[in-house]
Amino acid sequence: MEKSYIGDIPNTHIRDFQRKRLYQAEERCGFWNTLDVLSIEEIEELVIRISSWAETPVPKLIADGHNFVYATKNCIVLPYPITKTLPYILHEMSHVINYNSDNADHHGKYFASTYLQVVKEFAGPRAYIELKRSFKNLNVKHLTTEKAHSII
């Protein structure tokens, strides 16, 4: 069977059952239409801020030379200009945080919960509410806010 992931990630045996719904939920959010391309310096500073906030190691930033956007425990790959934007960075950094936790689940409820908290902190309450509402409308599983705080 061909693997469906790139790089060294934990829990590759866990089925990524809600990836499509989570992507659809993102597409329905206005902040995903705000695609201002950041400089490498701005991306590095944001990655450091998010890592510090989440108390996870700062991942290596790979900005060129790849065909896919992805993250592992210790790297974030953003090869195209559109991926060097706040929404993509928040999504991929949520993977870094999730993969450095005890509950690594790709796009599952722990990832979705981490992602909501990252969006709330770094994109603001309006983006958080919009994403949370979109998750609800598309039945994207996530933890309640109280439980989510305990995983970050």
User: Any idea which residue has 């599952």 for tokens?
Assistant: 108
pLDDT tens by residue, 34-62: 889 999 999 999 999 999 999 999 999 99
Q: CATH number for the domain including 30?
A: 3.30.2010
Backbone angles phi, psi at 139, to 5 degrees: 60, 45
Residue 2 lies in a domain: no
**What is the domain extent for residue 135?**
19-151
Tokens of 61: 């930033």
pLDDT tens by residue, 94-146: 999 999 999 999 899 999 999 999 999 999 999 999 999 999 999 999 997 65
- Which of these, 127, 139, 114, 122, lies nearest to 22 by C-alpha position? 139
Rounded to two decimals, what is the model's pTM?
A: 0.88
Residue 4 lies in a domain: no
